[in-house]
Structure 1
């Protein structure tokens, strides 16, 4: 997906095609959030911010890594959802075919649930980085910390529904428990992201 223009990606997103869809969009929310934090951190360098050089360098490094990871998850999600669609298209004229198709669907859904679950993990880290950057970041670009927090919140809440929609068809109880645990953190991520935004709004209202 990193080779597409934004316009091309949006054309595909708008098309009557199974992928990319909401899962890829969630991952790209996370990628944008990470990029925004990296930008704010890079504006928070030099002599004026020397006291925070260590934390700022850490934010830059992790934000860049998270941006790359999120972009990869967007591509993984699109590929996984295409596999789900292919599984549903398998023949099911008799019991044997239905059994094969059912197993294929369950396996494909398990794979498809992984990228959005990983997006939730990435969104949690991005939100934590926003919390770190908020009190030390360059105040001239502080609104971009809020923008990053909101994008991380959108990533987490969008990814959650994409995990949940796949849960119904997953038979492995261990996998179901793991994925259910992943979505359990989303309300906390959303609340923390909202708190970052509120703090920024109070700061710029002074």
Structure 2
């Protein structure tokens, strides 16, 4: 996924001949991580929470890499004949990552000035999209009624959607 151009990725997503299971959600999560990383970097010199921003920036960078690896794993699983429960693991990882990114965006928001709120709102919206897309994949993959544990895990991650909405709303109010 890392070596693929954006155009190639979009062509793959658009093709009805290629199975995709979560690579778009992973890319959304990677984008969210990059935006949190940017917001933390911008906030480094405009806040008293410099140590928090450095830690958030580093963590967002690690999360971006995890999202890219998840996207590659999603692509590899799509190319295989994996079971529904095995195929659900990647979107569950992306959902967990997206929920964590929303939490990290909230941490940066709490220590940053209003000028970084647009980046955090975009990050939260992207992470929310990754989370909701992952939930859609999981629902599709375990639609036969199996996978109760998978649905319970996903429900825990989906609780972060309200936090993402709060970050977006705060940015709108500050504008």
Which residue in 1 is equivalent to 2:69? Answer: 72
1:114-143 deviations in Å (ceiling 9; x for gaps): 000011110111010111111322433320
Give me the whole-angstrom Cα distance separating, in 1, the residues matched to 2:70 and 2:102: 18
Question: Unaligned 5+ residue runs, structure 1?
Answer: 85-106
Which residue in 2 is equivalent to 1:196? Answer: 167
| Contact 1:109 1:170 survives alignment (8 Å) | no
Given the superposition, is the C-alpha separation of residues 170 and 79 from structure 1 closer, same or farther in structure 2, using an over 3 Å criterion? farther
Give me the whole-angstrom Cα distance separating, in 2, the residues matched to 1:157 and 1:45: 31
- Report how far residue 65 of structure 1 moved: 0.8
Which residue in 2 is equivalent to 1:11? Answer: 11
CA RMSD of aligned residues (A): 1.8
Structural mapping, 1:26-175, within 5 Å: 26-46=25-45, 48-49=46-47, 51-84=48-81, 108-168=83-143
| Contact 1:157 1:186 survives alignment (8 Å) | no
TM-score normalised by length of structure 1 = 0.79
Give me the whole-angstrom Cα distance separating, in 2, the residues matched to 1:202 and 1:36: 20
Moved more, 143-152 or 130-139: 130-139
Q: How many pairs does the alignment contain?
A: 175
